[in-house]
Structure 1
Amino acid sequence: MDYSTDHSAHAEAIADLFTATFTASEGAEEGALIGDLTRRLLAETHAADLRVFTAWEDGALVGGILFTRLTFENETRTVFMLAPVAVATTWQGKGIGQKLIAYGLDTLRKEGVDIAVTYGDPAFYGRLGFKPVTETEVPAPHNLQHPEGWLGQSLTKGPLVPLRGPVRCVGAFDDPAYW
C-alpha cells in the first residue's frame, strides 16, 4: 500500500471514489452530495487549509481522507477536521481506512497541528483516539444533527478542550446539510 499527499493530478479520481463509496453505503443522493463536497473542497479550499491523504494499491486509488481547517476566533491552537473519509467498497474491512487516518494524524502532528476533530461514528473513530466532545467544549460551525458523533483528540500533550469560538469552517463545508 502506498500513501500520498499529492492530490492535484488526481482530484477527479478522488471525487469519484467518494461518490461511489457513499452511493454504495448511503444511496445515490448521499453519494452525489459527498462527491460534490469533495470536488468543492479540492477545487476551492486554500492549500493552507486543506490536507489530502490517499491510499493506492498497484496504481489504483483505494482510499482517501480530507482534513480541513477549523478557525476558532478566540483560539491560538491549530485545529483540523477529518471529513470525509472513503475506502473503495472492494477494499473495505482490510484496515485501509484506519491506517490512512493514522498516517494523516501522524502527519498533522508532525506539522504542529494541535487538535483534530471529526463528525462520525464514535465506535469507528474511537479506535483511532477520538473521544466524544460536546458543542460547549468544541463549538461546531453549524448545529449538529447527531451531536453524539462530534469527536476530537489532542495531537499534542496540550488539552483538547475547551476550544473558544465562534468557529468558522472552510467555505465548502459552510452548509447545514453536512452537519
Structure 2
Amino acid sequence: MDTSTDYTTHAEAIVELFASTFTASEGAEEGALIGALARRLIAETPTQDLRVVTAWEEGTLLGGIFFTRLTYEGDPRTVFMMAPVAVATAHQGKGIGQRLIAHGLDALRKEGVDIVVTYGDPAFYGRVGFETVSEADLPAPQPLNQPQGWIARSLTDAPLTPLGGPTHCVTAFDDPALW
C-alpha cells in the first residue's frame, strides 16, 4: 500500500470513493451528501486548512481521509478535524483505515499540530488513540446529533485540556446536516 497527499490530481477518484463507500454503508442519500462534501472540501478549502491522505495499490484507490483545520478563537493550539474517512468496500477489514489514520496523524504531528478531533465511533477510533471529550471541554462548531461521537487525540506529550471557543470549521463543514 502506497500513500499520497496529492489530492488535486485524483480529485474525481477521491470524490467517487467517498460517495460509493458511504452509499454502500449508509444509503444513497448519505453517499450523495458525503460525496458532495468531499467535492467541496477539495474545491473550496484553502490548502493551509486541508490535508488529504489516500492509500493506493497498483493504481487503485483503496481509501482516503480528510483533515481540516478547526480554529478555537480563545486557544493558540493547532487543531485539525479528521473527517470523513473512507475505505473502499471491497478492501474493508484489512487494516487499511487504521494505517491511513496512523500515517495522517504522524504527518500532522511532524507539522506541529497539537490536537486532532473526529466525530465517529468511539470504539473504532479508540483503537488509534482517540478518547471521548465533552463539548464543554472541546466545543464543536455545530450542535452534535450524537455527542458521544465527539472524540479527540493529543499529538503532543501534553494531555487534552479544555480548548477556548468559539470554534470555527472550514466552509464545507459549516452545515448542520453534517453534524
Scaled by the length of structure 2, what TM-score is found? 0.99
Identical columns (%): 70
Q: Secondary structure at the match of 2:10?
A: helix
Q: Distance in 2 between matches of 1:173 and 1:90?
A: 28
Alignment deviations for residues 113-140 of structure 1 (CA, whole Å, 9 cap, x no partner): 0000000000000000000000001000
Which stretches in structure 2 are left out of the alignment for 5+ residues?
A: none
Q: Secondary structure of the equivalent of 1:108?
A: helix
Q: Which amino acid aligns with 2:90?
A: T
SS at match of 1:148: helix
Cα distance in 2, alignment partners of residues 71 and 158 from structure 1: 19
Structure 1 residue identity aligned to 2:121: D
CA displacement at 1:158 relative to structure 2: 1.8
Separation in structure 2 between the aligned mates of residue 34 and residue 135 of structure 1, nearest angstrom: 24
CA distance in structure 2 between the aligned counterparts of 1:158 and 1:42, rounded to whole angstroms: 31
* Deviations 1:69-106, CA, capped at 9 Å, x for gaps: 00000110000000000000000000000000000000
User: What does residue 57 of structure 1 align with?
Assistant: 57
Question: Considering only aligned residues, what root-mean-square deviation do their CA atoms show, in Å?
Answer: 0.5
Alpha-carbon separation, structure 1, partners of 2:154 and 2:79: 9
State the match for 2:2 in structure 1. 2
Aligned residues: 179
Q: TM-score, normalised by structure 1?
A: 0.99
Structure 2 residue aligned with 1:36: 36
State the Cα deviation string for residues 1-47 of structure 1 (Å, max 9, x = none): 00001111001100000000000000000000000000000000000
Q: How do 1:1-179 residues align onto structure 2 when only pairs under 5 Å count?
A: 1-179=1-179
CA–CA distance in structure 2, aligned partners of residues 36 and 84 of structure 1: 12
Displacement after TM superposition at 1:159 (Å): 2.8
Shift of 1:161: 1.8
- For the residues of structure 2 that align with 1:25 and 1:97, how far apart are their CA atoms? 15
Compute the displacement of 1:53 (Å).
Answer: 0.1
Q: In the aligned structure 2, how far is the partner of 1:7 from the partner of 1:172?
A: 16
C-alpha distance in 2 between matches for 1:30 and 1:8: 23
Shift of 1:157: 1.1
Amino acid at match of 1:172: A
The ranges of structure 1 where at least 4 consecutive aligned residues each deviate by more than 4 angstroms after the TM superposition are none
Structure 1 stretches lacking a partner, 5+ long: none
Give per-residue Cα distances to partners, 1:132-152, cap 9 Å, x unaligned.
000001000011000000000
How many Å separate the matches in 1 of 2:133 and 2:73?
19
Task: Give the partner amino acid of 1:23.
Answer: T
**Residue 48 (structure 1) shift:** 0.3
